[in-house]
């Protein structure tokens, strides 16, 4: 009986594979047999590397000779909160260099939490003739000089997105490096830049790029200038304003309103730094078109936020500060029946007393009123099991639930019990929950629930929770789809880690800081699991070699890899090297 794999010539198979885009499907195809592996690798155009140290650039280039698009992630997520020391790693340079020689036709580079230099940016700008997309999310290490090289040399650039990166802002002149003949820009996000960008250069750029759909300005762009810029980009779908404040002038108001109306495709607004109530109603004429509103930098008082939000009846995504208060969220629940994602950020996270009237009630209202709500990030100062159970029952379709009760280990404020039952209800009812962040007072019980019910859970963030190793054990042994686990300040230790060592090879990474893992366990794990990198971040006590095995490590990052130990470990990262 002829084997199916030989039934079609390679070209036919390749044509069939060209319709398969998802990474998972492509990976599955490559496992069918050797010839499918070969055919597939030659026609893979795009890859996503979730941990840049899981594989080496050389390996990638060797396996996939014809890539057009690459996405890489570097530092662990907790680097966002200053838990990872400077110079830890995540360097993009070796990747850029490898790709510069291997992929002259590379079109897209997307990096997250990586360190990138001006030299690399220059290399990108000169190596890839058809370079189109550069997305640098939470990256650092480069300056506006590097951006100038991109602007000057990338003739076909479509997207330049610097979201939340830390850029050394030498001057705003880099924008003028886009040549007059440049027309291809579709998306520009410079919201993270501190210094002023020449508005002349911006205007010229916008005038030359009729296909611009997404423009996110930085805070330094004044409101009056925004009006001019909007006039030049009538096809905008997404706009991030600069500072949304000015002297109260009726003509600026009406010009602004008219400019918003003139952008007939406008669906998403963000920016709004220092938003003045006076200018918020300029948005009203287009409010019914808006599906996404990011007011998370608007330090505006509740009534004005509420009025705006209530006008936007088709809102799907809202990011807002806790100035909106419970009453505002109740109004949101009444007006915005299509809401899918809500993020509420704290205005005074380090204050000791609540400064706004935002409690668990706001979230409960939204969970009741918004049937499509799937994704929540909520900072608050009190929570109850009853509220969490209600939310869980209301919204079994929840897929991402991140709750941050600001004070660590805070119990249910009504009963003074741990919040185990509440979060337990979340994992029990929300059967498609993929991401969960816990807070408040929690015992091992909550992890038992998570291990039992969280079968689709992919990412879990835990802080100041649990009683013992059992907690960690429940999660590692129960959550079948767990990819990323990050833990801080929990009494989880050696036993659970070693008993579940094999599980770690099925995950992308595990971060543990201020837990109870001993140096001895790290050594053992590193010794016995060669396909894991068990990296200990050394603190002021000195390298683990000089510590007794029973001593606890402060920070630990474990990830699976086929690339062996990384070559760029700084002095403060230790890894088991030999007997």
Partner 1 sequence: MELQLGLALPTQNPIQGLNLTNNGLECSELRRPSFCIESHRHVKNKRSFEESFEYSSKSLPLLVWNGQPNDEDDRGGKRNRNAHPANENNEEENRLVGWPPIKSCRKKKIHQQHPRFPIRNAGGMLAENGDRGSNSSYVKVKMAGVAVGRKIDLRLYSSYETLTNKLFSMFNKCQKPEEEKESFTLTYQAEEGDWLVAGDVPWQSFIDSVKRLEIVRSGVAEST
Give, as ranges, the residues between 296 and 315 that touch partner 1 (CB under 8 A): 296-297, 299, 301-302
Record the tokens describing residue 459, joined without a space: 């990412």
User: Which of 210, 349, 396, 530 touches partner 1 (CB under 8 A)?
Assistant: 349
Instruction: Return the C-alpha torsion angle 142, 146, 148, 153, nearest 10.
Output: -150
For 393-443, the DSSP string reads: HH-TT--EEEEEESSTT---TTT---SHHHHHHHHHH-TT--EEE--SS--
Interface with partner 1, residue 242, by CB under 8 A: yes
Cβ of residue 101: shortest distance to partner 1, in angstroms? 34
Token pair 């800081």: residue: 513
Q: Which of 301, 372 has the CB closer to partner 1?
A: 301
Q: Which of 180, 353 has the CB closer to partner 1?
A: 353
Task: Supply angle C-alpha 404, 406, 407, rounded to 5.
Answer: 125
Interface with partner 1, residue 71, by CB under 8 A: no
Cβ of residue 355: shortest distance to partner 1, in angstroms? 7
Strand partners, 48: 71
**Residues 498 and 521: beta-carbon distance below 8 Å:** yes
User: Which of 75, 445, 484, 560 touches partner 1 (CB under 8 A)?
Assistant: 445
User: Which of 32, 414, 551, 567 touches partner 1 (CB under 8 A)?
Assistant: 551
**Contact range with partner 1 by CB under 8 A, out of 17-25, 67-75, 294-302, 305-313:** 294-302
Q: Which of 108, 494 has the CB closer to partner 1?
A: 494
Q: Which of 280, 398 has the CB closer to partner 1?
A: 280
Q: Which of 191, 394 has the CB closer to partner 1?
A: 191
Please tell me the distance from the alpha carbon of residue 30 to that of residue 25, in angstroms, as a whole number. Answer: 9
User: Which of 293, 324, 404, 482 touches partner 1 (CB under 8 A)?
Assistant: 404
Cα 166 to Cα 137, 143, 169, 221, 570, distances in angstroms: 9, 9, 9, 18, 21
Q: Which of 245, 509 has the CB closer to partner 1?
A: 245
Q: Which of 549, 568 has the CB closer to partner 1?
A: 549
In SS3 terms, 221-277 reads as CCHHHHHHHHHHCCCCCEEECCECCCCCCHHHHHHHHHHHHHCCCCCEEECCECCCH
User: Which of 25, 80, 372, 568 touches partner 1 (CB under 8 A)?
Assistant: 80
**Residues 412 and 418: beta-carbon distance below 8 Å:** yes
The DSSP 8-state label assigned to residue 181 in this structure reads: T
In SS3 terms, 54-96 reads as CCCHHHHHHHCCCCCEEEEECCCHHHHHCCCCCCCCCECHHHH
Cβ of residue 132: shortest distance to partner 1, in angstroms? 26
Interface with partner 1, residue 199, by CB under 8 A: yes
Cβ of residue 215: shortest distance to partner 1, in angstroms? 17
User: Which of 83, 93, 261, 386 touches partner 1 (CB under 8 A)?
Assistant: 83
Site residues (CB under 8 A) for partner 1, limited to 85-144:
138
Cβ of residue 83: shortest distance to partner 1, in angstroms? 5
Cβ of residue 512: shortest distance to partner 1, in angstroms? 14
Please tell me the distance from the alpha carbon of residue 52 to that of residue 96, in angstroms, as a whole number. Answer: 12
Site residues (CB under 8 A) for partner 1, limited to 157-176:
164, 166, 169
Instruction: Give the distance from CA 494 to its chain's centroid.
Output: 30
Site residues (CB under 8 A) for partner 1, limited to 2-21:
none
Q: Which of 262, 277 has the CB closer to partner 1?
A: 277
Cβ of residue 225: shortest distance to partner 1, in angstroms? 8
The binding track of 411-430 with respect to partner 1, each residue x by CB under 8 A or -, is ------xx------------
Please tell me the distance from the alpha carbon of residue 544 to that of residue 518, in angstroms, as a whole number. Answer: 10
Site residues (CB under 8 A) for partner 1, limited to 464-503:
464, 467-470, 473-474, 477-478, 488-489, 491, 493-495, 498-503
Token pair 């886009």: residue: 178
């Amino acid at each position: 009986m002829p084997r199916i794999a030989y039934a079609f010539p390679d070209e036919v198979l390749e044509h069939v594979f060209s319709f398969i885009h998802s990474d998972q499907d492509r990976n599955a195809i490559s496992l069918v047999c050797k010839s499918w592996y070969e055919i597939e690798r030659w026609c893979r155009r795009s890859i996503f590397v979730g941990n840049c140290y899981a594989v080496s650039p050389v390996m990638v280039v060797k396996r996939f000779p014809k890539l057009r698009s690459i996405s890489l992630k570097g530092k662990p997520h907790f680097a966002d909160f200053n838990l990872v020391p400077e110079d830890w790693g995540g360097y993009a340079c070796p990747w850029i260099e490898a790709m510069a020689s291997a992929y002259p036709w590379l079109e897209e580079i997307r990096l997250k939490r990586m360190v990138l230099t001006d030299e690399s940016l220059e290399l990108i700008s000169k190596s890839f003739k058809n370079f189109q997309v550069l997305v640098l999310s939470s990256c650092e290490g480069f300056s506006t000089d590097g951006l100038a090289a991109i602007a000057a040399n990338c003739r076909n650039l479509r997207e330049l997105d610097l979201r939340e990166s830390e850029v050394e802002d030498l001057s705003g002149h880099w924008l003028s490096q886009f040549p007059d003949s440049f027309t291809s820009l579709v998306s520009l996000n410079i919201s993270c830049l501190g210094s002023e960008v020449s508005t002349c250069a911006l205007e010229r750029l916008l005038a030359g790029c009729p296909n611009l759909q997404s423009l996110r300005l930085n805070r330094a762009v004044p409101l009056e200038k925004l009006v001019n810029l909007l006039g030049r980009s009538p096809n905008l779908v997404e706009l991030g304003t600069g500072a949304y404040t000015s002297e109260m002038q009726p003509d600026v108001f009406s010009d602004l309103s008219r400019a918003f109306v003139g952008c007939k495709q406008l669906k998403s607004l963000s920016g709004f730094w220092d938003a003045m109530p006076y200018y918020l109603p300029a948005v009203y004429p287009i409010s019914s078109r808006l599906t996404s509103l990011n007011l998370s930098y608007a330090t505006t008082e509740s009534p004005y936020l509420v009025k705006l939000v209530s006008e936007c009846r088709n809102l799907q995504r809202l990011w807002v500060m806790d100035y909106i208060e419970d009453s505002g969220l109740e109004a949101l629940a009444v007006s915005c029946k299509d809401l899918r994602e809500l993020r509420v950020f704290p205005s005074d996270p380090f204050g000791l007393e609540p400064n706004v009237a935002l409690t668990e009630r706001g979230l409960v209202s939204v969970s009741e009123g918004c049937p499509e709500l799937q994704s929540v990030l909520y900072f608050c100062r009190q929570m109850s099991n009853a509220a969490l159970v209600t939310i869980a029952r209301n919204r079994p379709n929840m897929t991402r639930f991140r709750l941050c009760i600001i004070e660590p280990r805070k119990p249910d404020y009504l009963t003074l019990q741990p919040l185990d039952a509440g979060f337990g209800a979340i994992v029990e009812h929300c059967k498609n929950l993929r991401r969960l962040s816990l807070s408040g007072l929690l015992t091992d019980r909550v992890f038992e629930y998570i291990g039992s019910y969280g079968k689709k859970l992919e990412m879990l963030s835990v802080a100041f929770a649990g009683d013992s190793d059992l907690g960690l054990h429940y999660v590692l042994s129960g959550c079948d789809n767990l990819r990323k686990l990050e833990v801080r300040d929990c009494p989880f230790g050696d036993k659970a880690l070693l008993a579940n060592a094999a599980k770690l090879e099925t995950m992308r990474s595990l971060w543990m800081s201020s837990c109870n893992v001993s140096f001895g366990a790290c050594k053992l794990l590193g010794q016995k699991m060669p396909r894991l990198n068990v990296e200990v971040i050394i603190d002021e006590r000195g390298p683990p070699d000089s510590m007794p095995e029973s001593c606890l490590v402060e920070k630990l990052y474990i990830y699976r890899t086929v690339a062996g130990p990384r070559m760029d470990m700084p002095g403060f990262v230790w890894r088991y090297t030999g007997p």
